[in-house]
Amino acid sequence: MFRLSTTPASRKPVAATALAAFSLLALAGCAGGGGGTDANGVTKVTLSMQNPDVETADPATWAIIEAFEDANPDVDIEVSGQAVAEHLQSLSIAAQSDTLPDIFWVYKATAEEMLEAGRLLDLTPILADLGIDEKLPESTIDNFTVDGVTYGVPYQGLLTGLWVNQAILEEHDLEVPETFDELVKVAETLSDAGVTTISNGANQSSFSVWSFLVMLERFGYGEKIDAILAGEESYDNDDFVRLYEHIAELRDAGAFASNVSTQTYQQAVDQFLNGNAAMLDAGVWASSAIQESDIAENVTFWKGPEFEDGVGEQNIIMNVASAPLVVDHKVGDNEEKLNAVTAFLDFYYSDEAQQILVENGQPPVTKYEPEIDPETQSALKSAIDAATAEGVTSPQSQPDLLVPTAVASAMYDSIYGVIQDQLTPQQAVELVEAALEDER
């Protein structure tokens, strides 16, 4: 049931074995279910996240935890984290031995496997008692509910697309494009001038293809994925092949940096912040770094190109709940720990905590209307404005969150494979279809 993730860095058997052993040991230190309240009356709750350094990499979550502990000195939130691939692998192993942390971030598809195996706590009554279900959009609740059981709550919002340095475009007599054909022309013009159009980084961050996942939705992914997962339809279909052909067009137009295969996501961000790329493939989480940079006043957020040969709705933006936070089922057997987890969830979805998200460059995940300073938070405002523009819609979930981890990894590899001219569009879709067949 719980398959280990397969990433480019972990495909060698010896390396994978060593990683699995290390990951299990790392997660064992934060496994929940045991103990309750210590001699000092403090209840420890373990929280495992998808960042090795949560304080630095995820200041919004860290600030919420600190504010919660200040208000609840009788609860200690013990935070741990690993990079995404290692984190998911650790959780899969821990699920097999029933030693999961109390609260943890996990992909939606993996969470639903854990729910089926009886490893997750049904949050339905807790959310109802606290009124959280009324604070969250109905689509969010539905996204994390199976057969009447709500197993997860949104960690943060996934508002993704392309950040655009308008000053670079203006310097070359260009405007922010609307269609894919216009984007190709922008790439050709900037490439001739020696300027990178879209900053991406594949090294150790193959998941950083958010804008292309949005494009996948513009070729009917949301309408096809259930049939694809059931084996009734294939990822190798004409619509998806056409999208990958467009990615190849962008590559051939010189849209990407020559070192895209060797630079990391953070280096891609730095490339953009230093004014060496016109666009950055990222999400709203980059708004704080952009705001603190010299280019902030020139940056706007773009939902990405619409396609004349796309499938279905084109005026969409990826503005969805991120992979959920879930709770280990054993928490329900420990009254002190259950009370502490309930208090944490109550605080996390309070207006106070949602404003903390906003102050750290994240949109609220509830219906809370935030206070945003248009001058000191201009980057965040541009992203939220794009998401709330008239007529714009959003998918229910980001494409990679709807599939098993190994398939998501293959999706990343397929996109970067075409960007790096290592795969043809046909080979790219076949790569993902092969991963799907292994999971069926």
Query: Among all chains, which residue has been given the structure tokens 């040991």?
Result: 25
Residue 139, pLDDT score? 86
Same domain for 128 and 168?
no
pLDDT at 434: 98
Residue 114: CATH number of its domain? 3.40.190.10
Containing 60, the helix (H) or strand (E) segment is helix 59-71
Per-residue confidence (pLDDT) for residue 25, from 0 to 100:
47
> pTM for the whole thing?
0.81
Query: What is the predicted pLDDT for the residue at 37?
Result: 79
For position 32, what pLDDT does the model report?
Answer: 56
pLDDT at 31: 61
Q: 380 lies in a domain? A: no
| Domain co-membership, 242 together with 344 | no
| Same-domain pairing of 299 and 426 | yes
Q: For residue 17, what pLDDT is reported?
A: 38
State how many domains the chain has. Answer: 2
Distance of CA 202 to CAs 13, 117, 229, 259, 421, Å?
Answer: 22, 34, 26, 9, 13
383 part of a folded domain? no
* pLDDT averaged per 10 residues in sequence order, the chain, 440 residues: 35 38 49 66 96 91 97 97 91 96 94 96 98 93 95 95 98 98 98 98 94 98 96 98 98 97 96 97 94 96 98 95 95 97 98 95 91 93 94 93 91 98 98 96
The 10 Å CB-count burial string (b at 16+, else e) for 345-358 is bbbbbbeebbebbb
Candidates 84, 106, 201; CA nearest to 151 is: 106
| Residue 314 and residue 341 in one domain | no
Give the pLDDT of residue 74: 97
Both tokens of residue 319? 């503005």
Q: Which domain holds residue 293?
A: 158-319+398-439
**For residue 381, is it within any domain?**
no
Residue whose tokens read 């076949």: 430
Residues 270 and 411 in one domain: yes
- The per-residue pLDDT for 7 is 32
Residue after which a domain boundary falls, among 356, 372, 388: 372
